[in-house]
A and B are shown apart, each in its own frame.
Chain A
Amino acid sequence: MPTMDYLIRSSRVIDVSGGDVSGASGPGANAASAPLDAEVDVLVQGGRIAEVGKGLAAPKGVREIDGRGNIVLPGLVDLHVHLREPGQEYKEDIESGSRAAAAGGITTMCCMPNTRPVNDCRAVTDLIVRRSREVGIARVLPIGAVSKGLEGKSLAEFGEMKEAGIVAVSDDGRPIMDAGLMRRALEYGKTFGLPVVQHAEDLNLAEGGVMNEGAVATRAGLRGQPPQAESIMVARDIELVEWTGAQYHVAHASTARSMELVRDAKKRGLPVSCEVAPHHFTLTDEACASYNTDMKVAPPLRNESDRQALLQALADGTVDCIATDHAPHSEVEKDVEFDCASCGMLGLETALSLSLELVNDGVIDLRRMAYLLTQGPARLFSLDAGIGTLAVGSPADLVMFNPETRWVVDRNAVQSRSKNTPYHGRKVPGQVLLTLFGGNPVFDRKGLCDE
């Protein structure tokens, strides 16, 4: 497809790749170059960022786009999605998931290995990479399995999967219960430069709990699992990180104690990081009281004091990135008894808006939000230098949105093949107008790029 050239005029452009807004404050936090945050023009030529600056001259043949009143960020990076291909294409596939990503301003996403077959070898990684390139709507970077078949027994082929394109390893929804396997996974991951991503949940302590344990679960008569099911696992893993020196990442951390453990590990200089999902910083277990299965997720929605601790950690730098854990499920998995329903929620199309709520609520500022959605995740998995930045020469992945426009989430209007959003009916700020991926308009709400 021939790429058009675009000149986006006079948007507020935020690119934190040049500076440090990782949350660290005080002297030295803003060392080398400052982050970009100014009303400037962005010139996209040949699929790459050609120039960023004030009053750029428009080269011949370029399409000029009036960006006034809008914000432009590098295309967002989501380290945790489920695209269901291969194997469960009735829920989602790489194409529908990529369209959902584009509608949400996300241009790079890391997909979890719990496909059918499991992404535990080069052949499956190859397939996902090839399919996503054919689709060409977003950059899909697979995460390989830690153990063969996600069975928690023996290590998968980290090296060959890395050659094929994986950027991390995880057994995803299957926590690595065996401490011995976890230790070896950390060491093997270190060998190939792959972080190990853990779904932290001690299954013995969780006892199959379908929601957070507490007053709401007691009232609803649903089996709860205590927040310690997560934090005990995080604490154990940090012990192993200290021993192995390997890079470790907590997926969708959801509890106050997990935040304290990660904060402490970072203080001690350990290579520990964590992501937080929008549903954990916007919703609480009260949402499960009406047995709405769209509110069933793992780890479960926690209580208000956990949510407050996440907000604190998002602000103070404990959290490294926001990741959606986009998990499409059809009505066959969701329109059933709460006990029987599958865990998971859509996330790609609402993450930006829910992050903007944090800004509007004064929890974080826009630069920090930009970091959590772009540079933060890109650095964690050591993604290519051009990802999550608008630096000249980078692939032209960007999102333009209007921060003032409010819209109502509608489960029947999503790009995803599934409808299991927990936000149906919620009015949220920030509407994505345009998403460019490699210079191509992959989402264009108002036809700004039309011929």
Chain B
Amino acid sequence: MSPSIKAREFPHRHLLGIAELNEADITQILDLSETLRGINERPIKKVPTLRGRTVINLFLENSTRTRTSFEIAGKRMSADTINISGSGSSASKGETMLDTARNLMAMNPDVIIIRHQASGTPALIAQHVSCAVINAGDGTHEHPTQALLDCATIRKHKGVPGQGLKDLEIAIVGDIDHSRVARSNIMAMTKLGARLCLCGPATLMPRDVEGLAGPEASERVRVCYRLEEALEGADVVMMLRIQNERLGAGATRFANTREYSRYFGLNRNTLSLAKPDAIVMHPGPINRGVEMMPDIADSMRSVILDQVAYGVAVRMATLYLLGGGSFGES
């Protein structure tokens, strides 16, 4: 492995969100992921890069695929990965955030990966620890590694080399309001030059959502409430999961899943409005038959499993950049 891949010093200590990254940072992670992806296809899927480093997977909200993906990424880089799972807030345990952070630091980790139900928790923890913090999804705020793996997948299938995602038409459909994946993707994709159409019922569209792209790029983001309009001419169709678990509080946002599916579900007919070679994505887990018909999920157009594969590569890249890894060691 050539040492030149770390030619650029990665200018961040933590990965708390896409918001703090610029185009060059994102491109650096994506390029490194492409390099590291090869490791995952070797017979012996392990490099010594992070040997002796300790990575804590702190998952305080249910997750299987993200936790597994981070764990595999750490292990393939030879880090010692420890999983801590649980649920609930520090408050519900009568602890403060500082208590949580002190307990973690007592284990002397190099990287803490945090999944938490409350927005901002990784940022708050990062203020109190001396190691790197990676946000693995916090509330309805951000899920940066998911956006990075989505961009890596799109770049591979649709991108022009050296052009990022420039001028690609991407439709993101569904529960934008409760989606950290959507927030991170809106920021990442617009930073890489894409044009976005966000679609869903107005009840699931957060206020001033175009503003997520920042003042310059916000004109490349539009909102529409008709699926047909969103899909027209799309290169990429990303369907979001209806998050029943987050829909409990407050007034209802739509009548029922039957009606939701009828107006916002992706099926063969609606997909035909997109470009003939459009790819279909979903961050998983899919509510089959709600946001996406099963035949679409399993079709040639679907790159859902590529997303999962890129997930490991992107997380390896992130751990490499933040975990103090080096390819110079043997």
Contact = CB atoms under 8 A, between A and B. Distances in A.
Interface in A308-340: 331-332, 335-340
Given A208-B249, A337-B91, A218 B119 contact: no
Nearest to B94: A332
B119 A219 contact: no
A213 interface: yes
Nearest to A206: B250
Given A208-B249, A208-B250, A222 B209 contact: no
A337 B90 contact: yes
13 contacts: A204-B251, A207-B250, A214-B208, A218-B208, A221-B138, A221-B141, A222-B119, A222-B141, A291-B119, A332-B94, A332-B96, A336-B91, A336-B96
B202 interface: no
A204 B249 CA distance: 10
Interface string B130-147: 000000001111100000
Contact of A340 (B19, B91, B211, B250): B91
Given A204-B251, A291-B120, A339-B139, 5 more contacts: A218-B206, A219-B19, A221-B183, A336-B90, A337-B120
A433 to B, nearest CB: 36
Given A339-B118, A339-B119, A221 B140 contact: yes
B97 A337 contact: yes
A340 B118 contact: yes
A-B complex: 8 closest residue pairs judged by Cβ atoms = A221-B141, A291-B120, A207-B250, A337-B118, A215-B208, A335-B96, A340-B91, A221-B119
A123 interface: no
Given A215-B208, A335-B97, A337-B91, A220 B120 contact: yes
Given A291-B124, A337-B120, A213 B250 contact: no
Interface in B211-241: 211-212
Contacts of B120: 220-222, 291, 337-338
Contact of B207 (A208, A224, A335): A224
A33 interface: no
A400 B327 CA distance: 67
A219 B97 contact: no
A223 B178 CA distance: 9
B199 to A, nearest CB: 16
Nearest to B95: A336
Interface string B17-40: 001000000000000000000000
Interface string B148-173: 00000000000000000000000000
Contacts of A332: 94, 96
Nearest to A336: B91
B129 interface: no
A217 interface: yes
Contacts of B207: 213-215, 217-218, 224
A290 B250 contact: no
Contacts of B208: 214-215, 218
B89 A337 contact: yes
A221 B249 contact: no
Contacts of B90: 336-337, 340
Contacts of A221: 119-120, 138-142, 180, 183
Contact of B98 (A208, A335, A337, A339): A335
A337 B124 contact: yes
B308 interface: no
Contact of B121 (A215, A219, A223, A337): A337
Nearest to B101: A335
B105 interface: no
A57 B62 CA distance: 78
Contacts of B124: 291, 337-338
B14 interface: no
B222 to A, nearest CB: 16
B116 interface: yes
B27 to A, nearest CB: 23
A342 to B, nearest CB: 9
A365 to B, nearest CB: 36
Nearest to A339: B118
Contacts of B273: none
B123 interface: yes
Interface in B70-97: 89-92, 94, 96-97
Contacts of A331: 96, 98
Given A291-B123, A337-B118, A220 B212 contact: no
B14 to A, nearest CB: 13
B138 to A, nearest CB: 7
A205 B121 CA distance: 26
Nearest to B140: A221
A216 to B, nearest CB: 9
Contacts of A335: 96-98
A311 B330 CA distance: 65
A62 B180 CA distance: 68
Given A291-B124, A335-B97, A337-B124, A218 B91 contact: no
Contacts of A215: 207-208, 211
A87 B124 CA distance: 30
A219 B251 CA distance: 22
Contacts of A219: 19, 183, 211-212
Contacts of A337: 89-91, 97, 116, 118, 120-121, 124
Contacts of A291: 119-120, 123-124
Contacts of A290: 123
Contacts of B141: 220-222
B91 A338 contact: no
Interface string A331-369: 110011111110000000000000000000000000000
Contacts of B116: 337
Nearest to B128: A335
Nearest to B214: A219
Contacts of A217: 206-207
Contacts of B92: 340
A340 B141 CA distance: 15
The listed residue with most B CB atoms (<10 A of its CB), out of A204, A208, A336, is A336
Contacts of A336: 89-91, 96-97
A217 B208 CA distance: 9
A217 B138 CA distance: 14
B251 A207 contact: yes
Interface string A186-225: 0000000000000000001001100001110111111110
A331 B118 CA distance: 18
The listed residue with most B CB atoms (<10 A of its CB), out of A208, A217, A221, A335, is A221
B101 to A, nearest CB: 10
Contacts of B123: 290-291
Interface string B232-273: 000000000000000001110000000000000000000000
A289 to B, nearest CB: 9
A257 to B, nearest CB: 16
Contacts of B140: 221-223
